[in-house]
Amino acid sequence: MGFELGLPGQFNAADYFVDRNVREGRGNKAAVLCEDRSFTYAQIQAGMNRIGNGLKGLGLRMEDRVSLLLLDTEMYPQAFFGAIKMGAVPVCLNTLMRPKDYLYFLNDSRSRVLFIDAALLGVMETIREDLRFLEHTVVVNGPAPEWAMSLDQLVEGSSDQMDAAPTSPDDSCFWLYSSGSTGQPKGAVHLQHDMVYSLETYGKQVLAVRENDTCFSAAKLFFAYGLGNGLYFPFGVGATTALMPERPTPASVYDTIGRHRPTIFFGVPTLYGAMLQQEGSLDGVRLCVSAGEALPADILRRWVERHHVQIADGIGSTEIVHIFISNSADSIKPGSSGKVVPGYEARIVDENFEDLPVGEIGTLLIKGDSICACYWNKHEKTKSTFLGEWINTDDKYYRDEEGFYYYVGRSNDMLKVGGIWVSPVEVESCLIAHPAVFECAVIGAPDADNLIKPKAFVVLQPGYSPDAQMEKELKEHVKKELAHYKFPRWIQFVEELPKTATGKLKRFELRKLSEGA
């Protein structure tokens, strides 16, 4: 069934998610907790307005893109909604990438302004000269180098009052980049109503997020998953969000839970697996949520045994903005992704787009009004992914009699590693550039928790020896060139790669080879 939001013809998401809380009397309520700091909705609103006015002062106009390369601190909501409120379009960038990735994101999005955390400034050094559209870099949480401006400079003399730009529910609101197996990442263009749709469906009906909740997402705000968890779900109901700028390790996460006492915790399977290996308490948490990759039933079992709190696994995507099939606190089937979230529809189809019966594996199509409008500047990819009201998720699923959905795999070779996309092709291209590598192939292999991690098969050039030293060197090489999480956790040296008569790699054989190893 469709789900009517009934938004007015003029609608601005920053007004809805920030200003409305102040209008409804929550101005003095804590909106953001971060380290030892706390910020009320009124404070976040004032900061947002100053940034919005500052952007106007730079000559920014509606629809201009503003990239955010920010850690999770109180500055994130202010910059994100500050840009949206004046009609600009924030582009949330993954902070774990490499300089060449940012060169692409900033040029592809034609961002005129970049907000960057002082701690991340290093990535700009080698690419600054090659940015074709960037006009201003604003440094937050620290001093600015001479070629950039500080936040104080941006907002100097700016009023803390501002009218929202007269956007419509269907105007561009924010972008998120999604990577594919080949080709450059694709900017998913999300509209002003998308966050509201996800809030009204998954947020209110599955999470049942309430004003007295405190949300804490270990998944960062720059991920579509983290953005809902840590920003627009809590802000959508006037709740509180706990933000953590550090890397999510079991220690930092348990520590933040102890300090801010969240009621809903959001993680990814790899983190739940790691947290089970370490001491720590979840006191006060009423529900845990997992997404990004399938949650193994065994991790769920051990988690509930130890912490006595359920983990609701759900599948979401960057294109759909958040979760569309999910378990919920009172309906959990271990090993499944749960049921279709009210407000979404699902089909499982064969290669001719014919619907398949219960139990049969096919491609998952989803319909629902939080699906992005398109991929920016990628017309062919847009046409093959967005099929009218439906989107092809490229995921393989089947469903059971009771309407629970089961993830079986991807229809392409992409891997989810710690909840984040890794393209085997990208890792292969990186490995092959190392002088010792003659040929290589990368597949996903299960670790001790049954979670997929990249594994490389390498054929060495003559004269190099397949030993532990070489293995270490190749891992370091990938870590240096690509985002850290992409490096192969195992390297298996082989004499040759299994190929078909036409020279195509037999990935299936590699998987068999891997299981035998």
Give the chain's length.
517
Q: How far is the CB of 291 from ligand 3UK (least distance, A)?
A: 4
Q: Of the two residues 47 and 292, which places its CB atom closer to ligand 3UK in the complex? A: 292
Supply the DSSP symbol for 235: H
Q: How far is the CB of 36 from ligand 3UK (least distance, A)?
A: 29
Q: Of the two residues 64 and 319, which places its CB atom closer to ligand 3UK in the complex? A: 319
Q: Of the two residues 26 and 416, which places its CB atom closer to ligand 3UK in the complex? A: 416
Distance CA 487, CA 442 (A): 10
Q: Of the two residues 243 and 372, which places its CB atom closer to ligand 3UK in the complex? A: 372
Specify the pairing of strand 390-399 against strand 405-410.
antiparallel
Q: How far is the CB of 330 from ligand 3UK (least distance, A)?
A: 18
How are strands ordered across the β-sheet holding 89-92? 149-150, 136-140, 113-117, 65-69, 89-92, 172-178, 186-191
Q: How far is the CB of 416 from ligand 3UK (least distance, A)?
A: 5
By CB under 6 A, name the binding residues for ligand 3UK. 178, 224-225, 291-294, 313-318, 322-323, 337, 393, 395, 407, 410, 416, 419, 421
Terminus-to-terminus CA distance in the chain, angstroms? 49
Supply the DSSP symbol for 220: -
Q: Of the two residues 40 and 270, which places its CB atom closer to ligand 3UK in the complex? A: 270
Q: Of the two residues 172 and 198, which places its CB atom closer to ligand 3UK in the complex? A: 198
Q: How far is the CB of 296 from ligand 3UK (least distance, A)?
A: 10
Tell me which residue has its CB nearest to ligand 3UK.
316
**Residue 490: partners with Cβ closer than 8 Å, 6 or more residues away:** 445, 453, 455, 456
Q: Of the two residues 378 and 416, which places its CB atom closer to ligand 3UK in the complex? A: 416
Neighbour count for residue 2 (Cβ, 10 Å): 10
Distance CA 49, CA 149 (A): 18
**Residue labelled with tokens 């990535």:** 123
**Residue labelled with tokens 């070489």:** 470
Q: How far is the CB of 204 from ligand 3UK (least distance, A)?
A: 16
Q: How far is the CB of 368 from ligand 3UK (least distance, A)?
A: 13
Neighbour count for residue 60 (Cβ, 10 Å): 21
